[in-house]
């Protein structure tokens, strides 16, 4: 895999100012889907991504059957405006069909899911009839031909696609596949993702916290976010601010991973050696993105010892790490794995209080959404929106997405929100 230097916006010039949409599009255009796959038992397929379409080996349902408890009969006997009396001559249960043809003037008591008896095409619900032990009377104009009958293959015909490739298998798909009698599934090979934090001031948990140092939170948030995806995770710890150490770490990561995620070291600080190391290892774009938080970001490919890996260099501030992951990296890793990612669904809500916003950049503000007395959605920010205030993500239940064109938001203005449920 290689990245054309002419394919990037602004020809990948340093300090290129990109919109969120431009950066997302460029990443999409550069990624090549992993082609490897695994055969796994059905129970182990949960959360994995389908590598091939699953074609139904059977009709679903396999026979015409009843959609409810009632009485099966031939609708040709129905006369508009007249009642219909029928004798009960048998019973059809799920798994125990009534195998004799039902003559006119008769019906069969039938339970939900039971195979429709021969010559019967309609089921009248038991609550609509007057019944004795041996007969029923159907009131006039209460039922129509074909009512409450599920046709063979109505849900899924033999040979038709039951689930398309690229679908992440949820409990619903697990049950659907089992209903088809399939016990092994072909899924995409899990991408291998290596990640590390950079910075001399970063300390791992358990280490002494010297003056001016901070504990590493980024590796834990990145680990948590990656854990929600179908990937194998390689934690490479904390790398010091030194070009040789960074190069060694990147080469090691490249040798064992499909993609690498770093946090820190992508700004213009004197100790941020990423650029000079990247110039040596591969093609990398250093971007300034019109967004807050998360302006500095790096994307590209590196090569080492005949292997290559995509690189996502995220900012160092904790909230910026999470925002850039969710709006760039997550989508990229889903594409790398061949997953048909769902469209990001933004929901309108009214601002409970004014929100400060600068026109010309996309802002992702952390919010708390709830319903007011009228049942309408209202949202407010979680206080300080600094990119280092990780508590703002913990307290929030949604992201307030304010696009480039918006400026200050007044109380009652409609904004768009992205619920954390299902995202984080």
Q: What is the pLDDT of residues 263-314, one digit of tens each?
A: 987 665 545 667 778 778 999 888 899 999 988 899 999 999 899 999 999 9
Q: In which domain, by residue range, is 130 found? A: 65-150
Please tell me whether residue 47 adopts helix, strand or coil conformation: coil
What pLDDT is attached to residue 267? Answer: 62
> Quick check: is 309 in a domain?
yes
What pLDDT is attached to residue 8? Answer: 52
> Quick check: is 2 in a domain?
no
User: Are 174 and 233 within one domain?
Assistant: no
Is the pLDDT score of 177 beyond 60? Answer: yes
Edge-first strand order for the sheet with 192-198 is 16-18, 282-289, 296-304, 307-314, 259-263, 192-198, 232-239
How far is residue 328's CA from residue 287's CA, in Å, rounded to a whole number?
13
What pLDDT is attached to residue 274? Answer: 72
User: Are 48 and 94 within one domain?
Assistant: no
User: Are 46 and 95 within one domain?
Assistant: no
The residue with greater pLDDT, 265 or 5, is 265
User: Are 97 and 213 within one domain?
Assistant: no
pTM for the full model?
0.83
What pLDDT is attached to residue 242? Answer: 85
What pLDDT is attached to residue 272? Answer: 60
The residue with greater pLDDT, 33 or 422, is 33
What pLDDT is attached to residue 133? Answer: 94
How far is residue 205's CA from residue 203's CA, in Å, rounded to a whole number?
7
> Quick check: is 4 in a domain?
no
User: Are 285 and 308 within one domain?
Assistant: yes
Question: E strands of 264-314, at which residues?
Answer: 282-289, 291-292, 296-304, 307-314
User: Are 271 and 369 within one domain?
Assistant: no
What pLDDT is attached to residue 265? Answer: 74
What pLDDT is attached to residue 345? Answer: 86
Is the pLDDT score of 92 beyond 90? Answer: yes
> Quick check: is 324 in a domain?
yes
pLDDT single digits (tens) 144-157: 999 999 999 999 99
Instruction: Report how far Cα 221 is from the mean position of its chain's Cα atoms.
Output: 18
> Quick check: is 52 in a domain?
yes
Cβ partners under 8 Å of residue 314, min gap 6: 218, 261, 262, 263, 264, 266, 294, 297, 298, 320, 321, 324, 325, 329
pLDDT single digits (tens) 202-230: 888 888 988 888 889 999 999 999 999 98
Where among 314, 336, 358 does a domain terminate?
A: 336
The residue with greater pLDDT, 318 or 8, is 318
Is residue 59 a contact partner of residue 153, using CB atoms and an 8 Å limit? yes
Could you tell me the CATH number of the domain that includes residue 368?
2.40.340.10
What pLDDT is attached to residue 15? Answer: 47
Exposed / middle / buried, residue 244 (Cβ in 10 Å: 0-12, 13-18, 19+): exposed
Residue indicated by tokens 């038992």? 41
Question: What CA–CA distances, in Å, run from 165 to 50, 51, 232, 339?
Answer: 5, 5, 20, 8
The bridge status of strand 130-131 relative to strand 202-203 is: unpaired
The pLDDT mean for the chain works out to 90
What pLDDT is attached to residue 383? Answer: 76
How far is residue 297's CA from residue 287's CA, in Å, rounded to a whole number?
5
User: Are 373 and 272 within one domain?
Assistant: no
**The two structure tokens encoding residue 150:** 């599920």
Q: How many Cα atoms occupy the beta-carbon half-sphere of 181 within 13 Å?
A: 8
User: Are 223 and 326 within one domain?
Assistant: yes
What pLDDT is attached to residue 423? Answer: 60
Smallest Cα–Cα separation from 288: which of 320, 318, 329?
320
The residue with greater pLDDT, 420 or 134, is 134
Mean pLDDT, residues 419-423 taken together: 76
User: Are 296 and 195 within one domain?
Assistant: yes
pLDDT single digits (tens) 62-84: 999 999 999 999 999 999 999 99
Q: Please calculate the CA angle 100-104-109 and round it to the nearest 5 degrees.
A: 55
Number of domains in the chain: 4
Q: Please calculate the CA angle 178-181-185 and round it to the nearest 5 degrees.
A: 65
Please tell me whether residue 37 adopts helix, strand or coil conformation: strand
Could you tell me the CATH number of the domain that includes residue 252?
3.40.980.10
Q: Kindly give the residue spans of alpha helices, DSSP state H, lying in 257-363.
A: 274-281, 318-324, 330-336
pLDDT single digits (tens) 370-396: 999 999 999 999 977 776 677 888 899
**The two structure tokens encoding residue 332:** 């990229």
Q: What's the Rg (C-alpha) of the chain? A: 30
> Quick check: is 281 in a domain?
yes
What pLDDT is attached to residue 332? Answer: 96
Where among 297, 316, 336 does a domain terminate?
A: 336
The residue with greater pLDDT, 11 or 45, is 45
> Quick check: is 209 in a domain?
yes
Kindly provide the b/e burial profile for residues 19-38, where b requires at least 16 CB atoms within 10 angstroms of the residue's own CB: bbebbbebbeebbeebeebe
pLDDT confidence bin for 3, thresholds 50/70/90: low
């Amino acid at each position: 895999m290689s990245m054309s230097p002419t394919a990037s916006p602004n020809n990948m010039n340093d300090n290129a100012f990109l919109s969120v949409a431009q950066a997302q599009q460029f990443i999409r255009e550069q990624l090549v889907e992993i082609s490897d796959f695994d055969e796994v038992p059905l129970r182990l397929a949960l959360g994995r991504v389908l590598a091939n379409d699953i074609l139904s080996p059977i009709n679903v349902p396999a026979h015409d059957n009843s959609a409810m408890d009632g009485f099966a009969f031939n609708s040709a006997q129905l006369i508009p405006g007249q009642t219909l009396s029928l004798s009960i001559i048998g019973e059809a249960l799920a798994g125990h069909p009534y195998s004799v043809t039902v003559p006119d003037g008769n019906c069969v008591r039938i339970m939900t899911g039971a195979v429709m008896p021969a010559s019967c095409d309609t089921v009248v619900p038991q609550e609509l009839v007057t019944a004795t032990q041996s007969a029923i009377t159907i009131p006039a104009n209460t039922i129509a031909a074909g009512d409450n009958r599920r046709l063979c293959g109505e849900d899924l015909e033999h040979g038709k696609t039951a689930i398309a490739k690229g679908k992440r298998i949820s409990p619903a798909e697990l049950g659907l596949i089992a209903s088809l009698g399939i016990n092994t599934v072909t899924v995409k090979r899990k991408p291998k993702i290596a990640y590390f934090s950079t910075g001399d001031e970063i300390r791992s948990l358990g280490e002494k916290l010297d003056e001016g140092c901070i504990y590493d939170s980024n590796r834990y948030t990145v680990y948590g976010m990656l854990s929600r995806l179908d990937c194998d995770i390689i934690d490479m710890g904390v790398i010091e601010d030194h070009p040789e150490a960074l190069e060694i770490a990147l080469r090691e990561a490249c040798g064992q991973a499909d993609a690498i995620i770093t946090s820190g070291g992508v700004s213009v600080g004197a100790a941020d050696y990423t650029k000079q190391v990247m110039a040596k290892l591969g093609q990398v774009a250093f971007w300034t993105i019109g967004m807050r938080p998360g302006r500095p970001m790096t994307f590209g490919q590196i090569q080492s010892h005949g292997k290559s890996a995509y690189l996502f260099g995220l900012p160092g501030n904790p909230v910026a790490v999470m925002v850039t992951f969710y709006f760039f990296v997550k989508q990229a890793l889903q594409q790398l794995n061949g997953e048909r990612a769902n469209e990001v669904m933004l929901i309108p809500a009214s601002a409970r209080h004014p929100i400060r916003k600068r026109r010309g950049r996309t802002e992702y503000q952390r919010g708390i959404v709830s319903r007011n007395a009228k049942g309408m959605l209202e949202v407010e920010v979680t206080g300080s929106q600094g990119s280092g205030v990780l508590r703002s993500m913990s307290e929030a239940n949604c992201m307030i997405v304010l696009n480039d064109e918006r400026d200050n938001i007044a109380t009652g203005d409609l904004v768009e929100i992205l619920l954390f449920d299902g995202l984080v």
